[in-house]
Amino acid sequence: MRVLIAGFGTVGQGIAEVIGMRQNLFSSEFGQKVEIIGAFDSSSFAGNPRGLDPAELVSQKKTSGKVGVKRADDMVKLIGELDYDALIETTPTNVVDSEPGLTYITTALNAGKNVITSNKGPLALKFRELCRTAEKNDVQLRYEASVGGAMPIINLSRELLRGEQIYSLRGILNGTCNFILNRMKDEGLPFEQALREAQELGYAERDPTYDIDGVDSAAKLAILANAIFGMNVTYHDVTRTGIRNISEEAIAMASEQNKVIRLIGEISGNKLEVSPRLVPSGHPLSIGGTLNIVQLITDLAGEVTVAGRGAGRMETASAMLSDIIAILTDEQAKCR
């Protein structure tokens, strides 16, 4: 399988490393290598039809700030014309017009390539159009990494729980907010300081208002509504309140009642909402740190809860690896 990596920040570098680390698995399970035939960031491009060394790409990026030496001229043209099997799209989320990711993904799908993306913007705004484009071109669009990093909620719900009726979903979808709320409660830190710490950990979005105003959670909730509940919504359809106005006093009052405040996303019936809620201490949704968690209510299995790290270099790469493996498995099944 030949892949082209679009975007070579934390996530792009992480998946390149993991592709390098898992070559033995690809060979033993699928009888083939996964080769990176190209990678680009916002200013440069590295390409070789015979495959690039992932470690060299990461080292080149670390030392020079660029993944390649060639100028990144017309990436859309390259995405449409290069010879590869899957685009791995890891450009930053933009919920205004979802570019450049939207054009990259659409171009690849229309060129008959599978797409694996971690980018929430295009999926939170144009989910159905993208699915239709993938279907029309008989290729896969996979996006496990777009919600909850290493918390495997999408593939779990769509594949392993396919026989279930899933009635509703509630969960914590933003690690930055969870970290802030937790630090405010446990250490009595003021909001601004807790936010600064979250930014230093590298969890916050490039624009942290996406986190604290619930935009990131709403985008993820819209993706889950489309992917798991078959809805046709955008993040604008989510009723949203962030955590900007949660005071130290409110957190202390919750503590007195043995409760914590958490930013909860909920899908039930027609309700699509992200808002701060009181959760009893010890309840699964009172989970701390930067963890994400989702609880599904299903007809046969009852309550299914899945938690995991919501962001991070290797964690997000782990989700993208599961999508690479799903595509390889699908191709293997077609060959039998």
Would you name the residues annotated as active-site residues?
Answer: 220
**195-204: long-range contacts (C-beta < 8 A, 24 or more apart)?**
198/290, 201/290, 202/10, 202/311, 202/312, 203/175, 203/176, 203/179, 203/290, 203/310, 203/311, 203/312, 204/176
Q: Which residue is nearest to ligand HSE (CB)?
A: 176
- How far apart CA 323 and CA 300 sit, in angstroms, is 26
- Candidate list 174, 234, 295, 318; residue touching ligand HSE; CB under 6 A: 174
Using the rule CB under 6 A, which residue among 205, 273, 315, 323 binds ligand HSE? 205
Our finding on whether 311 is near ligand HSE (CB under 6 A) is yes
Q: How many residues bind ligand HSE (CB under 6 A)?
A: 11
If one asks whether residue 90 binds ligand HSE (CB under 6 A), the answer comes out as no
Residue that has been written with the tokens 């405040």 in this structure:
261
* Site string (207-246) toward ligand HSE, x via CB under 6 A: ----x----x------------------------------
Pick 139 or 311: Cβ nearer ligand HSE = 311
Q: Cβ of residue 216: shortest distance to ligand HSE, in angstroms?
A: 5
Spatial contact of 7 and 89, defined as CB atoms under 8 Å apart: yes
- Smaller CB distance to ligand HSE: residue 37 or 154? 154
Residue 66 · residue 95 · CB < 8 Å: no
Q: Which stretch binds ligand HSE (CB under 6 A): 14-22, 203-211, 281-289, 321-329?
A: 203-211
> Which of the residues 285 through 304 are near ligand HSE (CB under 6 A)?
none
**Inter-CA distances, 313 with 51, 63, 93, 203, Å:** 22, 18, 16, 10
Least Cβ distance, residue 4 to ligand HSE (angstroms)? 23
Question: Is 315 near ligand HSE (CB under 6 A)?
Answer: no
Helix 313-335 with 10-21: angle, nearest 10 deg: 50
Please report how close the Cβ of residue 149 comes to ligand HSE at its closest, in angstroms: 6
149 vs 242, beta carbon nearer ligand HSE: 149
Binds ligand HSE by CB under 6 A, chosen from 176, 286, 318, 322: 176
CB of 287 to ligand HSE, least distance (A): 13
Q: Which CB, 60 or 174, lies closer to ligand HSE?
A: 174
Q: How far is the CB of 335 from ligand HSE (least distance, A)?
A: 35
Sole binder of ligand HSE in the list 203, 221, 265, 321 (CB under 6 A): 203
Q: Which stretch binds ligand HSE (CB under 6 A): 162-170, 201-209, 244-252, 327-335?
A: 201-209
Whether residue 217 contacts residue 273, with contact meaning beta carbons closer than 8 Å, is answered with no
175 binds ligand HSE (CB under 6 A): yes
- The footprint of ligand HSE (CB under 6 A) covers 149, 174-176, 203-205, 211, 216, 310-311
